[in-house]
Amino acid sequence: MTAYLRKTKDRTPRPAAFLDRDGTIVHDRPGFYLTDPAALRIYGTAPAALRAISALGYRLIIITNQAGIGRGYMTLARSKAVNRELRRRLERAGVKLDAIYFCPHHPDAGCGCRKPRGGMIEEAVKNHPIDLSRSVVIGDKTCDMKLAELFRLRSVLVRTGHGRSELAEHPGLARGRAVKKDLAAAAAWLRGKA
């Protein structure tokens, strides 16, 4: 499930920002899978937002469901290529990700890693010194928010990607959590909580 894991000598427990990928950091077209690295489009404000979140002391860990692999729309190698391209572009913009984890399974596979199940966060905790009590989940879907609830983490629902439609379909989703315009607004919210 690991696409990228940055080795670090820093063994100090730090909070993590568990970040959804599609619809939160990169543009997401509903009904389409991102299968081509050349088609990757990062939201314009995302790199600065990620730098700001990192500057607050958070580890940057992407956790993303990629059912397109299990459905046969793309290969595992193709999905890894998309993640490598994302990492490369973010590094050029001064963002160092700590890890990218993805679930490649079909939604009906019953795996333990597909959000809202906790396998990807559990794997991250094994690989990084993470202070879960101060960590946060940021994403655009109900599954991201349910994942946060599973671990009793703070959560931010962004209105980009599927965020607006998820809120329209599930009005109660806004209760008890921050709802922000985009990742930049989520970073500003975290800065206010630091």
- What amino acid positions are annotated as catalytic residues? 20, 22
CA distances from 132 to 23, 119, 125, 137 (A): 24, 14, 8, 11
Cβ atoms within 10 A of the Cβ of 88, count? 12
For residue 7, the SS3 value is coil
Q: Where are the alpha helices (DSSP H) in 46-132?
A: 46-55, 67-70, 76-92, 119-127
